[in-house]
Structure 1
């Protein structure tokens, strides 16, 4: 197989992964099993259980990529963002996301110790879930943040409520650029004069005309942006109370060539790090890999990340939780 053929196959694979991420479509070997009346997806049954919160987009299909790196005896449950299936209005605070998550987690596992993880923005409700459980007298074991340590200009990105729609588009375009390794130059001067619906249609058409993501359903994309904006609001307004006495484990994934080996204090993902007051409460491992692999499962990066996931979960002592 020549290099151009391998690159084309890689591109097709990434495009499929991106489409699944944007629309939450489970294509191919669908291992997601719905728990009746719940937004939780069971990826695998077993014991003990690991509960994983998703990134800002709210979807969970890509978490199947984590399964080979989680010990096979563990049950794995993905906490899809409430409202993804239109069953309710999405929450717009991390505290509400965590409270909802605890109710769903207790349906599966009535008592602790609880092992909780989150990808990207999902690290915030994972931390808040642990914090609320501690307040309720429950025990937690692993609290794991899978953090794509993207080197972004956090200081200059929109953060106020009036700019959430623009920020959502900026973030979605960034995801597409990062996963597909392309550059999208959106004409913001043309977008500025459009209302929100017109902007969504413009962006979808702009991306489609460049054959970056074919087959994207406009109405689904519109709904997904609504979920994204609610989660974005939750992420940007999260100020966790002090007092959590447990431990947080971070796998920070970034490329040295992109200067992604330091967690920016301005990153909204850093809120739990800023909230704890003892250095020994935070255990951070930096992985020199593309953070996009946490979404598309691309090799060899997901293998590098997975080795640390396996190491950390294997070391969990289920009999001596925090």
Structure 2
């Protein structure tokens, strides 16, 4: 595993945080359109009074926020409406983000990479097909008042508790995770299986079974800066700023670049940077245990970043009863980007459908 994570904001304008992602999904369904951008006007896209009523119902159901007609007229874009929703949900957002509602079948649950965010998952969900229900869960500690959890075991238990609130009774659990998120998917599947639950896909997206700690003291800052905020700034210059000034400067520049919502603040940015280190520490301390089911390793065909020869299954055959390898194009980073993610999504859907047909009750 290389010592970087992809946290790229989707280039299609799907959203810059969980609230924008979920609002975009609601708009797509209500307006029956696929080309929703976060700065598009609801009414210009075909919205009308009846759809506006349905929109307020959906917002109340997802976020427990009551919108008025004036709210919709003054905040007619996803980005503007998200600001209202954030103010109303500051103490109760939770970790769950519904990426797409789908039309039935067992959901796919995506667990976060080291960044703790879920912004890389919408293109994967779209590539799996719009009928596929798809949820993602972000790390505890990103929201105000939250304290990060200290171990993979604690994180996994917290995810299970969150996901039970939306998981259909009797359905199998389909869990995926990109890079380090795959270890979270594995541990969550292992715990569910121990409790006699049905587990379908355990999809490990270019995930190794061990984590190599980074020797770079600026790893978290570099990862957020280049992969998340898409800012080309001098690290030495940033390091010379005091923490408060550094955070304020990054917020200002990211908002101007359109990679961060306008109502983000420096405190939230500091939590995002800290989350990298919390998750890295938890993963480095994790001691993997055997799993008596099948894992599916989605293995990149471009392995030039690996710096050595690794087994095709990245070692998962040593801990899982069975490890299936599915080749996908790209390298560790480009596998989730346009041009490659479409194949990844199709392969994921194939495996979900296959395992859904054969997963026995345990």
Q: Mark yes or no: TM-score above 0.5.
A: yes
Calculate the TM-score normalised by the size of structure 1: 0.69
Deviations 1:215-255 (A, max 9, x none): 885513222113333222222222222x3111111113363
Q: 1:108 & 1:25 partners in 2: Cα distance?
A: 17
3-state secondary structure, aligned to 2:202: strand
Aligned residue among 169, 172, 177 for 1:113: 172
1:240 has 2:292 as partner: no
Q: Is the 8 A contact 2:295 2:322 kept in 1?
A: yes
Deviations 1:264-285 (A, max 9, x none): 59xxxx9x96576367622222
The CA deviation at 1:130 is: 0.8
Q: 1:147 & 1:312 partners in 2: Cα distance?
A: 16
Calculate the TM-score normalised by the size of structure 2: 0.62
Q: How does 1:56-205 map to 2 (within 5 A)?
A: 56-86=114-144, 88-109=146-167, 110-111=169-170, 113-147=172-206, 157-158=214-215, 166-173=218-225, 175=227, 186-187=235-236, 196-197=243-244, 200=247
Question: Structure 2: where are the runs of 5+ without partners?
Answer: 1-7, 27-57, 65-91
Aligned residue among 90, 95, 114 for 1:39: 95
The CA deviation at 1:58 is: 2.0
Greater helix share, 1 or 2?
A: 1
Deviations 1:51-108 (A, max 9, x none): 1112222222442212233244432111122233325222232111110111122222
3-state secondary structure, aligned to 1:142: strand
The CA deviation at 1:289 is: 1.3
User: 2:346 matched to which residue of 1?
Assistant: 307
User: 1:5 matched to which residue of 2?
Assistant: none
Structure 1 residues 35 and 112: alpha-carbon distance in aligned structure 2, compared to 1, 3 A threshold: farther
Greater Rg by CA: 2
User: 2:333 matched to which residue of 1?
Assistant: 292
The CA deviation at 1:25 is: 6.9
Structure 1 residues 289 and 81: alpha-carbon distance in aligned structure 2, compared to 1, 3 A threshold: same
The CA deviation at 1:142 is: 0.9
**Which structure would you say has the larger RCO, counting Cα contacts within 8 Å and 6 or more residues apart?**
1
Q: Is the 8 A contact 2:173 2:201 kept in 1?
A: yes
Q: Is the 8 A contact 2:114 2:181 kept in 1?
A: yes
Q: 1:156 & 1:317 partners in 2: Cα distance?
A: 36
Structure 1 residues 170 and 255: alpha-carbon distance in aligned structure 2, compared to 1, 3 A threshold: same
Q: 1:259 & 1:275 partners in 2: Cα distance?
A: 20
- Number of residue equivalences: 285
Q: 1:122 & 1:186 partners in 2: Cα distance?
A: 27
Q: 2:110 & 2:155 partners in 1: Cα distance?
A: 13
3-state secondary structure, aligned to 1:47: coil
Structure 1 residues 224 and 89: alpha-carbon distance in aligned structure 2, compared to 1, 3 A threshold: same
The CA deviation at 1:315 is: 1.7
